[in-house]
Chain A
Amino acid sequence: MNARAAILGAVRDGLRGASVPPLPPPVEPPAPLAVAERIARFTAVQQKLGGVVEAVADRRAACARVGLLLAQKGAAVVAASDAPLLAGLGDYVPADVALLPPDAPRERLLQADIGVTGAQWGIAETGTLVLASADERHRLASLLPALHVVVLPVRALLGTLGEAFAALQRDGAPAARTITFVSGPSRTADIELTLVVGVHGPKALHVLLVRDDG
């Protein structure tokens, strides 16, 4: 008997005649918060987690702000995703900065100082960015560099975790094959429970909230 049949058989035999308590019905997502409230909460929670949140007017302003950040931080190598909002980023990248596309070789991506990506949703309640990989290749650019810069349309900022889980499901399937929730820069408390911000993931997180992403 193979292992699968043996384990399933043992479980089935063990449960023969067992009473099955009902599965609670799905949670109804709560009423959405007003936009101003969502922005205020998201910003407050991000700050508490060690992130920075800034508002920008539109996609041009977002790319310009990223360009300025690259210059300020003295970045040499930048990894960018293929987010539509970042399509015009090339025009704003300083001449001496190398801009890597998502399919650049791993060795190069590992050298990037800054990663610039979009996010599919934000969650105000938990200060979370939802990276769903169906339409954007941001898995590496959001992870490897020490600074992660995210452009997020205000339109995509949800109120609660419940709203996010409602948005993340399409006909019983997840919205993307890889979904990553990011709430602030990486952290650890493994040494005497002392908080250290910045371990293996990004050490800093900078969110640009884009008011008009049209």
Chain B
Amino acid sequence: MRVSPLTPETFADNARAALADATLTGALRRATDTFAERRAAAIGAVPDWQELRTRAAAIKAHTLARLDAYLEEFTANATKAGATVHWARDAAEACAIVRDLAQARGSKRLVKSKSMATEEIHLNAALAQDGREPVETDLGEWIIQLAGETPSHIIVPAIHKTKEQIGALFVDKLGIPPSSDPQLLAAEARTRLRAHFAAADLGISGVNFGVAETGTILVLENEGNARMTTTLPAVHVAVMGIEKVIPRFGDLETFLRLLPRSGTGQHLTTYQSMLTGPDPMGQGPRELHIVLLDNGRSRIVADELMRQTLACIRCGACLNACPVYQSIGGHAYGSVYPGPIGAILTPQLQGLHSAGTLPFASSLCGACKDVCPVKIDIPSLLLELRRRAVAGEQVPAAPSRGAAPTTSKPARRKPLEALGWRVWSWVTRSPARFRLATAFARLGQKLPFAMRLFGPMRAWQSSREAPKLAARPFRDRWRGDAR
């Protein structure tokens, strides 16, 4: 059972509710601070960090500009290695492919390792319709699944939960004695999930990188659950966004240097599994299926300005660096991808009509751009999406299949706001009117309650400080001193 998730439409209310939750904001503050420190320490030890970023960004820009050719090369080589490659235009198609595979193989026990692509297509819910809901095996994801919630961070799904809350959840769902010791809770997870791994007949994973030159997929992790998921069941299904392909096997080195350091501050995560076809040694799955997922990505590829969105390697650094994410957490975004990357990606995947609020959920401070290992210019993309939302432009550019193009609501300013701007324009066109108006404003500032009573100012000031007007305007001082 899942708690009905929030949506981007109600972002402002979601954010207000999050801010009022002291447990949540405390947990977020501790976690994002810790992440930022670890990341800084890890990249401080890499002398050529900026060159690495430039290199990674260049590899991604090149690959995305020739994505069709690289996808064909990847498919040919993966197929040659014995994998079966499937193509899914949207979430429904991707889910149907996995459902059919499970059905045809008679799979009964499914396990899954953490994957944002499968969250995006809501694969668990689809499989649950056939009574085949996979067991999440990443500790954080398992906690979320037990709680019936959704992840709130792309690296640490249960970042919003305290150990006390998790302890209480385990008492409630697993009937174990109360404990809030992470060591004990993790040990419990190991024991419980072992039984699932042992019995599983189909394993589902995501893909961090797919290598065109070799048809290899790489899955990285720390816990060993992805190794279990991609080793023990007879069938392995890997869901991979089409933007995950990179040209050469050797390019993995560049991304392996960047991703763990940016995400968790590790030099390398504990495990990287590089799988080229099914296991020929009888030690792993007999079948490997790779589901290539479009679900809006081909439209983003076609949009030259926005294409760099697809360079994202899902490290989570922009979430940890973002003052908005730090304050409200992931759920308030009402989208599978939260934080700065979510604010640019979700409106492009879902359309501005339903996620058009998200590009506005930023102070444009640029912290995300500074930390991004593939140098995505997130603030510029946020501005462009704001412009499109206000202009009522169509985003994404053109759908790949019959569905009606999604258009954001044509911009219509609220009547009061429109009047306000007209008055402003009238006032500022005459020096005398401007002087008079600022004199009134200065008077008004002496009576703060008056400002707050004033309709539009009240809304604006609910989350901002109004700038203070100087007691004596510069204009007057200039004249006085010049004399």
Contacts and interface: CB of A to CB of B under 8 A. Distances in A.
B59 A23 contact: yes
Interface stretch (B2-10, B62-70, B345-353, B361-369): B62-70
A11 interface: yes
B67 A177 contact: no
Nearest to B141: A190
A41 B216 CA distance: 29
A165 B67 contact: no
Interface in B172-204: 182-183, 185-187, 189-190, 193-194, 197-198
Contacts of A140: 231, 283
Interface in A100-148: 102-103, 106-107, 110, 125-126, 128, 133, 137-140, 143
Given A21-B65, A199-B186, A133 B281 contact: yes
Given A139-B284, A199-B189, A194 B302 contact: no
A183 B158 contact: no
A182 B67 contact: no
Interface stretch (A2-10, A31-39, A85-93, A150-158): A2-10
B481 interface: no
Interface SS of A by simple majority: loop
Interface residues of B, number: 97
A214 interface: no
Given A140-B283, A190-B157, A26 B248 contact: yes
Interface stretch (B217-225, B328-336, B447-455): B217-225
Interface stretch (B87-95, B123-131, B403-411, B466-474): B87-95
Contacts of A198: 186-187, 190
B302 A14 contact: yes
Interface stretch (A52-60, A63-71, A167-175): A167-175
A198 B189 CA distance: 11
Contacts of B158: 190-191
A107 B162 CA distance: 36
B143 interface: yes
Given A137-B283, A202-B224, A186 B71 contact: no
Interface residues of A, number: 72
B253 A190 contact: no
B254 interface: yes
Contacts of B61: 21
Nearest to B269: A183
Interface of B: 27, 30-31, 34-35, 55, 58-59, 61-63, 65-68, 71-72, 81, 86-89, 93, 137-140, 143, 156-159, 161-163, 166, 182-183, 185-187, 189-190, 193-194, 197-198, 213-214, 216, 222-225, 227-228, 231-232, 242, 247-250, 252-254, 256-257, 264, 267-277, 279-284, 292, 294, 298-299, 301-304, 397, 400-401
